[in-house]
């Protein structure tokens, strides 16, 4: 039987090569693993789980160009999840939460959790606060599914400006979530 | 926004990813850092007038080799620490090697020297300014390297910042070697290293603030 590591890694690597459907399946499965992982990690903060799931998904997306095939995907994803979780704890400044051991990443891909809760923070609303040259590319390319060329024509931006706008916009979104921008 | 919608958003139009982003970023940052340090060195301190003559000596190349090996080790370390989950790895050994070599060589020279000459070997003429000169020459590289690291995804910000600072300062030390008249390995092992550690500490201090994402 294929392990979660092998399965997810195959999907992720296909996604990096440009296979959007494989990438979608990867994010879908990762979401379930993250949910399970976080519900076990912060059982007393269940309301924050879905927000953190979304934040980690966005972070994984923004960092995906840094993955190297030679590394285990689990370790790479775990480092990102842990980084965002630490940031979250810092934000809450919860002493007891900081004592929660974050070291073992074996259980990240262990038991998935399928049941989504509601996110408290609305990423869609945060998106509206981005400057136009980032917001419009994300709106057209990522939400309406237009091509880069169509978006360029529609917005009067160059094609490379559309690509850069999407990329920077999603990074700016991650900073906004943490209240850093 | 529901998580499903976020997944839709992230995967829609997600094209192929540049798998060499790290190499490209450092490939752009390093020449910039080197050029910045060189120009600053030439403008502020000036190239040593006897460079052509001293370039004939092995000692001069040993000095460049010392800084170059540290730069290499720092590059390995920072390019690893700029990615989630990667450890410093072989970068640590590469960093330890030139330091040990210079300490052993410098220590042997000091031990063999007459007691009256030892102070000169250790302190030279410029020990007061040397670390701060290296700090100054590190400024352009500091920004260039931090910019490269920011474009990747460091998760250990203090360590990544320290490695970035060390890389910038090792490049600065290379440039400074073209000005600095000190030719005692014991001097390099103390004052050059101190200058580099100063910038490394600065990188560790600023890393968590400048590299967050």
Q: What is the pLDDT of residues A94-140, one digit of tens each?
A: 545 455 555 556 667 766 776 676 777 788 888 889 999 999 999 99
Q: Which residues contact B115 (CB under 8 A, 6 or more apart)?
A: none
Instruction: Please give the pLDDT value at position B191.
Output: 95
Q: Tell me the C-alpha distance between A159 and A43, whole Å.
A: 45
Distance from CA of A66 to the nearest CA of B (A): 6
pLDDT in tens, B65-109: 999 999 999 999 999 999 998 788 777 888 999 999 999 999 999
pLDDT in tens, A8-32: 999 999 999 999 999 999 999 999 9
Q: How far is CA B179 from CA B31, B64, B99, B187, in A?
A: 19, 12, 21, 15
Q: Tell me the C-alpha distance between B191 and B172, whole Å.
A: 13
In this complex, do B84 and A147 lie within 8 Å of one another by their Cβ atoms? no
Tell which residue, A148, A85, A138, has the closest CA to residue B10.
A138
ipTM of the complex model: 0.87
Distance from CA of B10 to the nearest CA of A (A): 7
Asked whether B144 and B29 are in contact (CB, 8 A), the reply is yes
Tell which residue, B170, B164, B168, has the closest CA to residue B209.
B164
* Chain B residues closer than 8 Å to A180 by CB: 212
Instruction: Please give the pLDDT value at position A115.
Output: 67
* Chain A residues closer than 8 Å to B24 by CB: none
* Chain A residues closer than 8 Å to B15 by CB: 18, 20
In this complex, do B2 and A119 lie within 8 Å of one another by their Cβ atoms? yes
Give the residue ranges of chain B where pLDDT is below 70. Answer: none
Distance from CA of B23 to the nearest CA of A (A): 10
Specify the long-range contacts of residues A136-142, CB closer than 8 Å, at least 24 apart: A136/A165, A137/A161, A137/A162, A137/A163, A137/A165, A137/A166, A137/A169, A138/A165, A138/A166, A138/A169, A138/A170, A138/B9, A141/A166, A141/B12, A141/B13, A142/A166, A142/B9, A142/B10, A142/B12, A142/B13
Distance from CA of B186 to the nearest CA of A (A): 40
Taking CA–CA distances from A116, the nearest residue in chain B reads B3
* Chain A residues closer than 8 Å to B8 by CB: 24
Taking CA–CA distances from B153, the nearest residue in chain A reads A63
Tell which residue, A95, A114, A131, has the closest CA to residue A28.
A114
Q: Which residues contact B76 (CB under 8 A, 6 or more apart)?
A: B89, B90, B91, B94
For chain A, how far is it from start to end, CA to CA, in angstroms?
Answer: 45
Q: What percent of chain A has pLDDT over 70?
A: 86
Q: Tell me the C-alpha distance between A112 and A104, whole Å.
A: 17
């Amino acid at each position: 039987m294929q392990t979660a590591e092998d399965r997810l890694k195959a999907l992720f690597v296909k996604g990096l090569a440009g296979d959007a459907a494989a990438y979608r399946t990867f994010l879908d499965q990762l979401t379930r693993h993250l949910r399970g992982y976080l519900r076990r990690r912060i059982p007393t903060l269940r309301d924050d789980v879905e927000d953190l799931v979304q934040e980690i998904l966005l972070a994984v997306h923004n960092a995906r160009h840094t993955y190297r095939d030679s590394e285990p995907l689990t370790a790479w994803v775990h480092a990102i999840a842990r980084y965002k979780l630490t940031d979250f704890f810092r934000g809450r400044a919860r002493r007891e939460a900081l004592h929660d051991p974050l070291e073992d990443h074996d259980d990240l891909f262990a038991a998935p959790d399928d049941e989504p809760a509601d996110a408290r923070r609305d990423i869609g609303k945060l998106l509206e606060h981005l400057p136009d040259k980032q917001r419009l590319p994300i709106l057209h390319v990522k939400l309406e599914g237009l091509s880069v060329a169509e978006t360029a024509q529609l917005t009067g931006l160059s094609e490379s400006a559309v690509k850069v706008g999407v990329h920077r916009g999603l990074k700016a979104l991650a900073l906004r979530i943490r209240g850093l921008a | 926004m529901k998580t499903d919608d976020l997944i839709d958003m992230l995967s829609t139009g997600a094209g192929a990813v540049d798998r060499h982003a790290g190499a490209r970023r450092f490939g752009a940052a390093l020449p910039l850092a080197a050029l910045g340090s060189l120009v600053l060195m030439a403008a502020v301190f000036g190239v040593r007038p006897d460079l052509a003559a001293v370039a004939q000596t092995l000692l001069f190349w040993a000095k460049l080799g010392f800084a170059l090996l540290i730069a290499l080790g720092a590059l390995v370390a920072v390019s690893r620490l700029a990615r989630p989950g990667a450890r410093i790895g072989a970068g640590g050994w590469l960093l330890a090697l030139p330091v040990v070599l210079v300490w052993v060589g410098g220590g042997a020279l000091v031990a063999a020297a007459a007691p009256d000459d030892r102070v000169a070997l250790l302190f030279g003429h410029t020990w007061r300014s040397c670390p701060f000169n290296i700090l100054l020459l590190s400024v352009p590289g500091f920004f260039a390297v931090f910019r490269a690291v920011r474009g990747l995804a460091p998760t250990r910000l203090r360590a990544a910042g320290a490695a970035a600072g060390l890389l910038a300062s090792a490049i600065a030390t290379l440039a400074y070697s073209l000005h600095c008249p000190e030719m005692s390995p014991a001097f390099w092992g103390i004052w050059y290293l101190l200058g580099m550690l100063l910038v490394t500490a600065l990188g560790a201090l600023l890393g968590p603030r400048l590299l967050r994402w």
